[in-house]
Structure 1
């Protein structure tokens, strides 16, 4: 399992840019680059490049990416201003994996985006905002998963049954919004992995 350490990737990216800059630039120019590398978007770019390297592995294997409900990083790199700024700063030294990332994510023959939510108001609305972000980046998301559902367990506990009943509204909302392209996974006390994950497919 891969994990992107944002601070480590930021440091690696900054060192890479500065190393290249020192080959041709004056001390004053390098000082400007150092200041520029402290901007907030630098970390986004560094993480984007690391993310692209992970996705590049999809050339010969299936890659599953679990990410937070925001399309902010993708939209930042989608911005012409930010992308041109990156090309200028790195003197055009853009990894092939980064160049291919957005086209690959937009290609429905290669990428399937599944939006995972809980049957509650805030998670559902966050997921809807994510879907809009992805649409602006021209990345399709067809399937939804409602995770950790008490309603799906058929609980008879009075308190849990009340909470389960509250889920119905949000499950129905996901159903209608996704045109039925959704699945509901029961709440489980155990972590779902390995053979338990396979059981969900049966």
Structure 2
């Protein structure tokens, strides 16, 4: 003989303690859904984005000769392809003394490219180039350059990479140097600081 089937009892619920039961502690009680009206006479607090003191109406007052120019990997490679001397072409573009700077990440990227880019590596090791040490982990140069430019607004970024350009345009007060028509051009640089009139 098999077991008799138990029929379900419909519309029955487990018994629960009411949320307003006196046995429940104060901090476990149900919170009221009433919305408190805001006082119109109260002071309104707004969080403003902190801009560095070196910016004056989006113009960077820390920029001035001698210019410190952060150089990207592809900028060196394109300079070699277009047969431009990096330091001399930078000076021709800005009409002032320029000090190209290379971070450890950019140097590591050039070294990883191998034997094909040995000319770029030799140029990067030029004593006229200033070497900047990196303290972060990894060797992704785009993040390194963007982070360095956010922290210190005294640099111009030299790159041909579209993604990096797009990223740096979002940072106020940072000029971008790029290659076009077999010469260097500069973008977002006020004319007072020596930018050529095109």
TM-score above 0.5: no
The normalised TM-score by structure 1 is 0.29
More strand by share: 2
The normalised TM-score by structure 2 is 0.29
More helix by share: 1
